[in-house]
Structure 1
Amino acid sequence: MLEAVEYTDVAQVRGPLLVARGVQGVGWDFSAQIRLDSGEVRHGVVLEVDRDLAVVQLLEGTEGVRPGGATVRFAGETLHVPVGAGWLGRVCNGRGEPVDGGPPILGTRRAAVGGHPLNPTHRDPPAEPVLTGVSAIDALTTLVRGQKLPIFSLAGLPHLELATQVAAQATTGGEPFAVVFAGMGLPHLDAAAVRDALEERSAAGELVLLLNTADDPVVERILTPRIALTVAEHLAFELGRHVLVVMADMTAYAEAVREVSAARGEIPGRRAYPGYLYSDLASLYERCGRVRWRPGSVTVLPVLTMPAGDITHPVPDLTGYITEGQVVLSAEVQAAGVYPPVEPLSSLSRLMRKGAGPGRTREDHLDVAAQVLASLARARQARELADLVGEEALSGTDRLYVAFEQEVRRRLLDQRRDEARSLEETLDRAWQALRVLPRRELTMLPAGVLDARYAPGTG
């Protein structure tokens, strides 16, 4: 760590930016303290350095700051936060300052919030499930410890409610577990709802809550997921917990990156996002995983909204390249009165076979999931045919497939917003839906499994 240096020559203040002149030994992303003549202290991050000029973005804004009326003190290092178990049970703003009325957070050591992606040579493959209590995810797109599985949504759909529900009831089956929830760009009403919904888990000492609201500075929004992952890494790889990091909404994060890029005067890329958006997102998502010879894991569940429902928009497009599947929410399913409105045929967990099946969940889990998805695909074909020729013209089997789709939505996908289902109940509900179809149609299920579970009334 370099020695902190103080400068009094504030040359310019424009928007959220402050320009300090005559600086030496200052680098990008260095943290800074700005002391006003009134004695007030604000915090900032160095965005750009050009010879003896340093451009600092203030986390609390520049209102009341004037050239010649402030002192800038550079810390000589990038932003660090204390890490340790002291974060558990705390509610903080987006830059990690407590807002729950408690004391400052103390840790066993300090860690840079920038962090680094996990070294591929030190990774263990993701394995074992994180059970969310949400049937649509646990049954068909199982989340695996060490995986990054995003939720793709549209404006107006209950993605934040789903993310909060997962954060409130996820479990790893009795092993040490914690949740780090990073909210970015949330309206105050939504932030309050998240805080209320997660109060029980927070009181149990299993939650770290970071809330960046829509009126907070954009630089804070960029720091929020990095602080969350820094805290999660220590809880996982030093303290041996399995940690689920929920980040909502990554679209708000990407827009903050775009705004900061514009403030730096960088050349814009696709849809005005900076050309490095891909590597920036990857630097976050790739911090999850399992480390060889360490007991814990970091699992990431990013939530993002697709502007105008466009899955080719840069944020979902680039996220899809980096992550291992996606859970897609659908306005059509929402219109049918189903919560959560997950579209199973558009959703995928590429690592599901690493965390489900014999010895991990239940021996019939993978076969049941494959059969449900295959039958839903056939049901979609039958529904499209009915739109062309009328339902009366469908064969008896096609009508059963249409009925099966309705049964899946009613029995398996739809659940209360505060309902945590066990995996046993989830798979039993899937079997109840499959019994709508004749046994001859269940070609993806082994005969032994059908003998044991297909007959009505079996569990």
Structure 2
Amino acid sequence: MKEYQTITEISGPLVFAEVDESIGYDEIVEIETADGNTRRGQVLESANGLVAIQVFEGTSGIDRNASVRFMGETLKMPVTEDLLGRVLDGSGNPIDGGPDIVPDDRHDIVGEAINPVSREYPEEFIQTGVSAIDGMNTLVRGQKLPIFSGSGLPHSELALQIARQATVPEEDKASDNDEGSEFAVVFGAMGITQEEANEFMADFERTGALERSVVFMNLADDPAVERTVTPRMALTTAEYLAFEKDYHVLTILTDMTNYCEALREIGAAREEVPGRRGYPGYMYTDLAQLYERAGRIEGKDGSVTQIPILTMPGDDDTHPIPDLTGYITEGQIVMDRDLNSQGIEPPINVLPSLSRLMDDGIGEGLTRGDHADVKDQMFAAYAEGEDLRDLVNIVGREALSETDNKYLDFADRFEEEFVNQGYRTNRSIDETLDIGWELLSTLPKTELNRIDEELIEEHYIEDAAASESDSEEAPADD
């Protein structure tokens, strides 16, 4: 370990120092200021006797007389099963008042890429208890399925709902002979406000979800550089629990937009040539390094499933952050501002949403046998109802046929009864599909052209449409 007092420049979150030896990329650095305070940093660049160091706690108070020590190792996360139930800051230090972490091991936060030959194809159902996800855009173990939201939309409430409700159904475990695998949640928050942090913690503690969770908190007033570390800390913990302790781990990362803003800030301080809208040209590679850490490994019972959450600036899905995320991940869950203004909770628009692995996750023995047919028919019916809403604005409902009016009613009820369930309701997949059949039964049988006839005979509710009209016409009791 060598110590230098050769700082040449301080720029934003970066410190530049001259060295006379080779320094490794990502090597950990300790910077001791004149008043005796020590701050940690990480080597971003090393070339021609000059190193660029990003300081996790910020560069305020650091001057050219500070001492720089290179530790000879990369940043590591202390891992242990006892992390479950703990709350840590964005750098992995406990902030819940509990005892110090006594690790079983220390893992490099950069992680190791999963060998493609060793990857198992994701095809096991995860039940989130949210009908718009389970029924229409199913989450699968080992998948990376982001949530595309917008500023002011309740993505935090949806994230909390998924964190406390998500389970691996028992029949799914039994089918893989891995009854010993347990479910855990790793929650990584980046750049959130203190109010949001308090809300997250109150919900985790009130519902008991904290007992099976590891929470990383990087607040808005914490250094931006720390945000580049937080998701890697969270994913390293998730990989340990999944591949060494056989947990099925759901990793929720919010908000990836704040993470990308931190990348842009560091890139500007390094005077890099910017890419689209000022973001670094390597942002695609950087995001891929995070997202591709989801998956299953052959011979391992555990799995890492990711739900990254991002707020689209200006609700623009062509913005670089959602655009690049969409290329890397296997679909997206889209939150809709119009549905939110109507009071739909959660305001998930199922039409632009997509889960590319859904068909593999709802196969035989994974969910109820009619799941695929019900999903296809509801997609088609809701899309038809949406198209007819535009036509009604021009010609009025009176100009439409009886069948067209049924599709309009279906679209309204689909939003009010299927999507709108609130943030405290936990629906099983059977309950979700039962609601789906109740809605589809308001349409004529002849319109159900995407469902097998045997399933129609088994599940179609003959008097559903009639009972609906009767309830609308029945006078209120005195």
Note whether the superposition's TM-score is higher than 0.5: yes
Structure 1 unaligned blocks of 5 or more: none
Provide the C-alpha distance between the structure 2 equivalents of 1:158 and 1:416, rounded to a whole number of angstroms: 11
Which is worse superposed, 207-216 or 33-42? 33-42
C-alpha distance in 2 between matches for 1:34 and 1:165: 41
Deviations 1:268-313 (A, max 9, x none): 1111111111111111111110001111110010111111111111
Deviations 1:344-391 (A, max 9, x none): 111111100111143001111111111100111111121121112111
Which of 133, 136, 141 in structure 2 is aligned with 1:140?
136
Alignment of 1:17-416 (within 5 A): 17-68=14-65, 70-174=66-170, 175-200=181-206, 205-416=211-422
**Aligned amino acid, residue 426 of structure 2:** A
* Corresponding residue SS for 1:406: helix
Deviates more, 1:417-426 or 1:200-209: 200-209
CA distance in 1, matches of 2:241, 2:206: 20
**Do 1:358 and 1:364's aligned partners in 2 also have CA atoms closer than 8 Å?**
no
Q: Distance in 2 between matches of 1:308 and 1:439?
A: 42
Q: 1:27 and 1:263 mapped to 2: Cα distance?
A: 20
Q: Which residue of 1 aligns with 2:470?
A: none
Change (3 A) 1:133 1:431: same
1:19–1:54 contact (8 Å) kept in structure 2: yes
Give the ranges of 4+ consecutive aligned residues of structure 1 lying more than 4 Å apart after TM superposition: 200-204
Cα contact 1:47–1:264 (8 A) shared by 2: no
The 1:60–1:422 alpha-carbon spacing in structure 2 relative to 1, beyond 3 Å, is same
TM-aligned CA deviation for residue 47 of structure 1: 2.0
Percent identity between the two aligned chains = 48
What displacement does 1:457 show? 7.9
Cα distance, 1:116 vs structure 2: 2.8
1:125 alignment partner AA: Y
Contact 2:150 2:315 in 1 (8 A): yes
Question: In the alignment, is the contact (CA less than 8 A) between 1:90 and 1:202 conserved in 2?
Answer: no
- Output the CA distance in 2 between the equivalents of 1:418 and 1:203: 13
Q: Which structure 2 residue ranges, 5 or more long, are not aligned?
A: 171-180, 465-478
Letter in 1 for 2:37: E
Give the C-alpha shift of residue 23 in structure 1: 4.5
Q: CA deviation at 1:445?
A: 1.1
CA distance in 1, matches of 2:162, 2:301: 23
Deviations 1:235-294 (A, max 9, x none): 101111110010111111111111111112211111111111111111111111000111
Paired AA for residue 190 in structure 1:
E
Kept after mapping to 2: 8 A contact 1:88/1:205: yes
Query: Aligned to 1:283, what secondary structure does the other structure show?
Result: helix
- Say which SS state the counterpart of residue 318 (structure 1) adopts: helix
For residues 119-164 of structure 1, give each alpha carbon's deviation from its aligned partner in whole angstroms, at most 9, with x where no partner exists. Answer: 1111000011111111110100000000011111111111121112
Task: Give the Cα separation in 1 of the matches to 2:210 and 2:188.
Answer: 18
Give the drift of 1:58.
1.5
CA distance in 1, matches of 2:157, 2:41: 32
Whether the 8 Å contact between 2:13 and 2:266 is mirrored in structure 1 is no
Q: 1:372 to 1:247 in 2, by over 3 A?
A: same
Look up the equivalent residue of 1:96 and give its one-letter code: G
CA distance in 2, matches of 1:325, 1:418: 25
SS at the partner of 2:364? coil
> What is the aligned partner in structure 2 of residue 421 from structure 1?
427
Q: CA deviation at 1:343?
A: 0.7
Which secondary structure does the structure 2 equivalent of 1:164 belong to?
helix
Q: How many positions carry a matched residue from both structures?
A: 454
